[in-house]
Structure 1
Amino acid sequence: MKDPIGSFETIKENFIRYIKTAFRTKFEGIEKERYDLLNYDRVLYRKPWIEPLPDYVSSGKKINDLTLEDLGNALSDAEVKLFKGLVNTGLVGDFPLHLHQAEMLKQTLLGNNCIITSGTGSGKTESFLLPLFAQLSKELSNWQAPNPKSTSINNWWCDNGGLSAREIVNTSNFTLSNAVRQRNHETRKAGVRALILYPMNALVEDQMSRLRKALDSDDTRNWLSENTDGNAIYFGRYNGSSPVAGEMKKVKDDGAFAINTRKVNQLKEQLQQIETDSNRVAEYIQKTGKIGSEAKDLKSFFQRLDGAEMRSRFDMQVAPPDIMITKLFNVEHNVNA
């Protein structure tokens, strides 16, 4: 932020202006007294606390400048090419890495367990995602090309042209039927490559935006299509916000299991809402002519159902994502269950 004091003053004055407009009186004295009261610390606001931070030591190298030695000689030339290509589509910008980011990348690839404790804004997220992306790059070249997607895989939840509950649920085990599973076209084995744990949902949401930019942006989709035979790196959020809690089966009066139609309809409704929000954002971007990083930032706040982000808990239960983001509570609950 170039002008934190100016930003604070602007926000403060906007709030005061709203109060004056919404609750205006005809008495000039009251108006002035109220303005003076609202413009006093501890009434409407607190004075800003600003902590200047020095620049972190730079490695002097951008992603494309990294050598085999910088990567601990842990990757082949082909794997390095895949790593750099993947990272450049959305994880980091075109600027040198901080020294601690480059060092953590190298040390992790050398097999060391690493902890990073640098301050806010130091790029801690990139520090642990870069080694993960490097490891994924070692696997990418070995993944077999997926099969063509089924015709219903991206629209089964729709009211018009969608599928019925009996078509959605496999009644032999009450999981998603193969026709609607998000990853039913893949030939590689699904499995969690990384588990990212956070203590709060707010941090999970921030991480999802970062991963959408890095693994599900238009640039990343195009790059993966051209360089990995159409494979995707799947990621998913497993917490209270993940559609939907519960099971797809219910117990009837006679003790037999049946399809939980209410739960299936709830899942369809939530997916419809997610799709509606995504379409509205796309329309807004097109209408306003936003391009580049601004458009990418807007898209990153919303899930797209046709991409690499896992749609639901039920999808993750039958095909775990490569990267799972969750809270420790959810892990403990699932293990105990």
Structure 2
Amino acid sequence: MTKYLDPIAAVEQPRADFIRYLLTAYPLRDPHLRYGFKQLLEQPGNLWQHPYLEGSQPYKSSLSINDLVEQGVLHPDMATLFIPSSRRLYEHQEKAIRAVVEQQQNIVVATGTGSGKTECFLTPMLDMLLKEGDNLSIAGVRVLILYPMNALVNDQVKRLRQLLCRQKTTTKIKFGFYTSRTEKDRGKAIESLREEFAAYDPEELRQLFTSAEIKSIKDEELIDKAIEKTSQVQLLSREEMWEAPPHILITNYSMLEHMLIRPKEREKIFEASVNTFKMLVVDEAHTYDGAKGSEVSMLLERFKASVGVEQKGKIRCIATSASLGDASVDDKVIAFAGEFFGETFSQVIRGQRLNAKDRLGKPYTLPAALTNEEIIQYLSIIELPQQGSSISSWFDPLSAIVPEQQLKLAESQADSDIHKFLWFALKGHPLIHRLINILCREPKPWKEIVRSTELWGVNLPIKLDGSVDDTDAEVALAHLLQIGTLARANPDDLPLLPVRLHLLFRSLEGLYACINPKCSGAAHDPIYSDREVRYGQLYLNEKKPVNAVVRLY
């Protein structure tokens, strides 16, 4: 057999390891308790759930940065920051840019992971700053980007460095990130940056320079030159930001609260930005719910007051999140954003993924003799060739589900590349199209897809006990995903079946037992039927409808 990733094993192995760990970490001498504990751990819904399969088809594309520059929507210098500027934006990115830049709206961007949410606020933000022209020489915060944790702040810093280092103007847009990791004086900040850059891949540092600059930089000079280049666009220390606040300030809500309390930051940064502040961006907006959301909302009101924003509509606000439900809750999302920011929001912008037909074209027709039942059967027993095998070695396994003429056509288009061959052989297969269209809607439970009549085109057989026999269908789906993730038109493109498998676990709160050994739910290990049962039913938390429980762990 081959070493392709097996989706079934990818689910079952972590689950088995997790259960084995808990049984080891919480040893029980009583055999009946051990037996009952193991049963609880193995039941779905207690500490784990069946996995979800999510499709990651590309989003609908639209115009490029160049196009928006030519239309007069964006500043001409934007084409030098976003490289290549001819790359097409996603449809939702263009919609977000136009909403903020042209219509001056406050928006919520609610698109999935990997959908380019960052560009939805970076692009209008940088456009706004570039349009200030000579006024950029006036120190003061124009934009606050708020993140819930430092890890996200660090990722954003890397992205901004790369973009802003491409500036060709004398007066440059500058940013600073202000967290507990930010050093007070420049000397220590430089040393901290040197340590950070030393851990980088050299290729990552080279992205800060133009191709012409790279040619003149020796390998041993790379870190020093990167520090010098970064210093032109990033204020590294707190003292630098006190002296001249950056155009873009990045922080988290904990540090923002400290900054609003301390006189130094209040005076040197916020009061100095009274006449310059223009935009507030909050990433991962879904994390600010409940009491935490109320506290951060009041924090934002204090911040707005500190920079002289006392009326609605004076600033632009953008919230982003990948976890805000679907379009049916947009009214609630807009209401939440309005209350959270204390501003009026206009719309929720969501991404639209390509369906199978839009991305792959029309499906081909399978021979009438090839039934849906046979496809399931063939896929469940198919043996995939070893990795690196020739195209000819794939003909026999695929010939049972793909028409011969389609295989020959795919071979002629593949340039001896197995990934291209699989792409051209399968991109028109009706089963592939049905799976993509199912996953385009929303993440689905693995078992639901396995038993989907829409996917297979038939009802799965029923066992004697009345349950669905999905054994073959589950293996067939696993094999289909293995083949579909190998198929690519080009090395840098998404595979034919870009998917994510979500494994769901939660921590153990404790182990509790009813103190009545005659309880109807008491566990009995059949191997130790002669041993006395001393406890009743077991629970993994104490919130159960019993009068008296004892905590075992």
Q: TM-score, normalised by structure 2?
A: 0.33
- Is 1:137–2:130 an aligned residue pair? yes
Q: Could you report, residue by residue, the CA deviation over 1:115-151 in whole angstroms, capped at 9, with x for unpaired residues?
A: 12423223332111111111222235x479xxxxxxx
**Superposed, which structure 2 residues align to 1:108-187 within 5 Å?**
108-121=100-113, 122-140=115-133, 142=134
SS at match of 1:66: helix
- Aligned AA (2:132): E
Q: Distance in 1 between the 2:8 and 2:109 partners?
A: 28
Whether contact under 8 Å (1:62, 1:95) holds in the other structure is yes
Q: Does structure 1 conserve the Cα–Cα contact (< 8 Å) formed by 2:157 and 2:177?
A: no
Q: Which residue of 2 aligns with 1:234?
A: 174
Relative to structure 1, the CA distance from residue 143 to residue 15 in structure 2 (aligned partners, 3 Å threshold; closer, same or farther) is farther
Q: What is aligned with 1:275?
A: 193
1:329 counterpart = 2:257 = yes
Q: Give the CA deviation at 1:83.
A: 0.9
**1:242 CA displacement:** 4.1
1:320 match: secondary structure = coil
Q: Which amino acid aligns with 1:64?
A: N
Paired amino acid for 2:143: A
- Alpha-carbon distance, 1:273 to partner: 5.7
CA separation in 2, counterparts of 1:143 and 1:4? 56
Local SS of the residue matching 1:88: coil
Gap runs ≥5 in structure 2: 23-37, 209-225, 267-302, 307-553
SS in 2 for 1:126: helix
For 2:205 and 2:51, locate their aligned partners in 1 and report how far apart those are by CA, in whole Å.
29
2:46 maps to 1:48: no
From 214, 235, 240, the equivalent of 1:315 is 240
Distance 1:143-1:6 versus aligned 2 partners, 3 A rule? farther
Match in the other structure for 2:416: none
Letter in 1 for 2:82: V
Q: Is the 8 A contact 1:104 1:114 kept in 2?
A: no
CA distance in 2, matches of 1:3, 1:234: 47
- In the alignment, residue 68 of structure 2 is paired with which amino acid? L
Cα separation, partners in 2 of 1:13 and 1:321, compared to 1, 3 Å: farther
Shift of 1:236: 1.7
| Preserved contact between residue 41 and residue 47 of structure 2 (Cα < 8 Å) | yes
1:233-271 per-position Cα deviation (integer Å, ceiling 9, x unaligned):
2212223x2435xxxxxxxxxxxxxxxxxxx7xx57953
Amino acid in the other structure paired with 1:243: T
- Name the counterpart of 2:89: 97
Residue 12 to residue 276, structure 1, CA distance change in 2 (3 Å): farther
Gaps of 5+ in 1: 20-34, 145-187, 245-263, 297-302
State the Cα distance separating 1:312 from its structure 2 match: 2.5
- How far apart are 1:98 and its partner, in Å? 2.0
Identity %: 27
Q: Quick one: which of 210, 219, 241 aligns to 2:156?
A: 210
Q: How far apart, in 2, do the equivalents of 1:3 and 1:233 lie?
A: 48
User: How many angstroms apart in 2 are the aligned matches of 1:309 and 1:4?
Assistant: 44
| Amino acid in the other structure paired with 2:248 | I
One-letter amino acid of the structure 2 residue matched with residue 48 of structure 1: P
Q: CA deviation at 1:321?
A: 1.0
Task: Give the 3-state SS of the residue equivalent to 2:144 in structure 1.
Answer: strand
Residue type matched to 2:61 in 1?
Answer: S
Deviation (angstroms), 1:293: 10
Indicate conservation of the 8 Å contact 1:195/1:325, yes or no: yes
* Cα distance, 1:332–1:136 mapped onto 2, change above 3 Å: same
Q: Report if aligned partners of 1:274, 1:304 keep a CA contact under 8 Å in 2.
A: no
Q: Which moved more, 1:113-122 or 1:101-110?
A: 113-122
Q: 1:237 to 1:268 in 2, by over 3 A?
A: closer
Residue pair 2:186, 2:240 contacting (<8 A) in 1 also:
no
What is the CA–CA distance in structure 2 between the aligned matches of 1:3 and 1:96, rounded to whole Å?
34
**3-state secondary structure, aligned to 2:199:** helix
**TM-score, normalisation: structure 1:** 0.51
- Distance in 2 of aligned mates of 1:14 and 1:269: 48
Q: 2:78 aligns with which of 79, 83, 106?
A: 83
**Which structure has the greater CA radius of gyration?**
2
Instruction: State the distance in 1 between where 2:46 and 2:175 align.
Output: 44
Q: 1:109, CA displacement in angstroms?
A: 1.9
Aligned residues: 232
Is the Cα contact below 8 Å between 1:63 and 1:88 reproduced in 2?
Answer: no
Structure ranking higher on relative contact order (CA contacts 8 Å, 6+ apart): 2
Distance 1:293 1:11 in 2: 36
The corresponding residue for 2:182 is: 243
**Any conservation in 2 of the 1:243–1:270 contact (CA below 8 Å)?**
no
Contact 1:108–1:131, Cα closer than 8 Å, also in 2 = yes
